[in-house]
A and B are shown apart, each in its own frame.
Chain A
Amino acid sequence: MRRVAIAGVGMTKFGEEWTRGFRDMLIEAGTRALADCNLHGEEIDAIYVGTMAPGSLVGQEHVGALVADSMGLTPVPATRVEAACASGGVALRTGYMAVASGMHDCVVVGGVEKMTDTPGNEVASALGGAGDQEWELFMGATFPAIYALMARRHMHEYGTTEEQLASVAVKNHSNASKNKHAHFQNEITIETVMGSKYIASPLKLFDCSPITDGAAAAVLMPLEKAKKYTEQPIEIVASAQASDAIALHSRESMSALKSTQVAARKAYEMAKLSPKDIDVVEVHDCFTIAEVMAIEDLGFFKKGEGAKASYEGRTALNSEISVNTSGGLKGCGHPVGATGVKQAVEIVWQLRGKADGRQVKDCEIGMTHNVGGSGATAVVHIMRKA
């Protein structure tokens, strides 16, 4: 296998982007990533784009070809990758494998979701497809409900409290306020979260990530080639993915994601690193409970101590482990297919020292963690300065 690096990255502003459509966002993120490593386009061998539900949300399938066409990159092979909310992370891994294998020398990986063109309850139904349509969604399970069922188990098994969960949202809003690309630019307090309406008890509105539009892109090359295009290539030193039962009720545990645990173990083995080596991590916090489980399952805290650790500030910027400096899905926003790629963009910026007011000090090694559905897919990447 060849060593693979990210040469360039780019993303749109995340948010409710009323003036821009699905294609506009793709073009903006792709153009920025190409410009970031001085590519014109002729060098590109393949495109992988992660997007979850464009068919349901904007009526568009066959997104691979659409991207190649919109970017003026035809006849480059272009493929859509779908793994629900992990579509972006799995697209990144697909691009990584294409370059590592020697099949391609320059790959563009994109992620996109245009969500606000669709009424809220239809978005909820479309996202529900990430779970088990026939046995969860059909019975009235929404995604907040599925994570609420996990939160209730976590509270039951480990004594996690709603205030502790709220602290995750407070921290992520704080980080987002320092990120000009983030959906939310405002800080909030524990009281803001606790006073918000229940969506699916014990989860309240401010425990949930928002419905967001956005796109992100990255250019992948063999490490040696990347050095010709950028002064700061970031090497992908591990890429790992795992699956689990699609329905929450079919899993052994509901207070942990086995897929995350397995993907993390494989990633640490591949990179020959351990959790204590990681300086900055972007985890999949579609709900506050998801971040709590992630920081446990990735090995940063013991099982059951994630919520307490969050409440004590041990995941804040430049604390023990800087978690979700971008603001995470909660603060930066969650345009589903874009999220996994955006996480990589943030880690690249952190490792390059270009993360503005949210820069993690002495940042050498970063990690991304992207989850599909309620944990049926988890994909983990570890990156370091080349």
Chain B
Amino acid sequence: MPSENLAITWRRIPERYRLAGSYCENCKTSYFPNRKLCPKCRRKGRLASKQFSGRGRIYSFTEVSAGPAGFELETPYLLAIVELEEGPRLTAQIVGATEKDAKIGDEVEMVFRRIMEDSPEGLIHYGYKFRLAKRCAPK
């Protein structure tokens, strides 16, 4: 069973719980996850924090039938690259849908879920997943 260091999870809470990312005031690029250095401007960059809306579209997706250790209960699950409406892309699970419900371009919205649990007595790691937006939801 994999586990994640407490401090790693703790440092990531603002990003994982509510999509807090960053924005470079110099080149006007939005970043998620949070960046400490603008990869485009490097030392000229001026990074500020930015709250993402949680709305986006499916850029690519796959149904994972062989999940890694720690994901036994949710396997098979839908995993996607989501393009946030502000620009950045991220990797996340799509909940409440199977492969036949999803297609590239579908609108999705962030939900808050358990990502994994270190062990039955260990820490629960929470974070973002996505679901098909209301009007894309499977009927």
Contacts and interface: CB of A to CB of B under 8 A. Distances in A.
Contact of A199 (B33, B66, B74, B90): B66
Contacts of A135: 33, 90-91
B60 A200 contact: no
A149 B127 contact: no
Contacts of B68: 121, 124-125, 128, 137, 140, 142
Contact of B91 (A152, A156, A249): A249
B65 A199 contact: yes
B120 interface: no
Contact of A140 (B77, B89, B90): B77
A140 B64 contact: yes
Contacts of B2: 125
Interface in A166-220: 197-203
Contacts of A124: 66, 68-69
Contact of A254 (B12, B70, B81): B81
B61 A139 contact: no
Interface string A5-30: 00000000000000000000000000
Nearest to B69: A121
Nearest to A148: B62
B113 to A, nearest CB: 11
Contacts of A149: 60-62, 79-81, 91
Contacts of B116: 138
Nearest to A198: B65
B60 A201 contact: no
Contact of A201 (B71, B81, B99): B99
B67 A140 contact: yes
A90 to B, nearest CB: 22
A144 B99 contact: no
Interface in B106-139: 115-116, 125, 127
A142 B71 CA distance: 11
B110 to A, nearest CB: 13
Contacts of B93: 139-140
A247 B62 contact: no
B81 A249 contact: yes
Interface residues on B, range: 20 to 34
Contacts of B99: 201
Main secondary structure of the interface of B (DSSP, over half): strand
Contacts, number: 99
B69 A125 contact: yes
B63 interface: yes
Name the interface size band of chain A.
Answer: 20 to 34
Contacts of A156: 60, 104
A298 B92 CA distance: 31
A121 B89 CA distance: 27
Given A139-B79, A140-B77, A140-B79, A145 B69 contact: no
Contacts of B66: 124, 142, 144, 199-200
B127 A254 contact: no
B8 interface: yes
Contacts of B60: 149-150, 152-153, 156, 254
A121 B70 CA distance: 9
Interface in B73-88: 74, 77, 79-81
Contacts of B115: 138-140
Given A156-B60, A254-B81, A139 B65 contact: no
Contacts of B63: 198, 200-201
Given A125-B69, A152-B104, A250 B89 contact: yes
Contacts of A249: 59, 81, 89-91
20 contacts: A125-B2, A135-B90, A138-B125, A139-B91, A140-B64, A140-B79, A141-B79, A141-B91, A144-B64, A152-B61, A153-B59, A153-B104, A198-B63, A199-B64, A199-B66, A200-B65, A200-B79, A203-B62, A247-B91, A254-B81
Closest 7 A/B residue pairs (Cβ) = A148-B62, A121-B69, A249-B89, A149-B60, A200-B62, A201-B63, A152-B60
Given A122-B69, A148-B64, 4 more contacts: A124-B66, A134-B8, A140-B67, A201-B65
Interface of A: 121-122, 124-125, 128, 134-142, 144-145, 148-150, 152-153, 156, 197-203, 247-250, 254
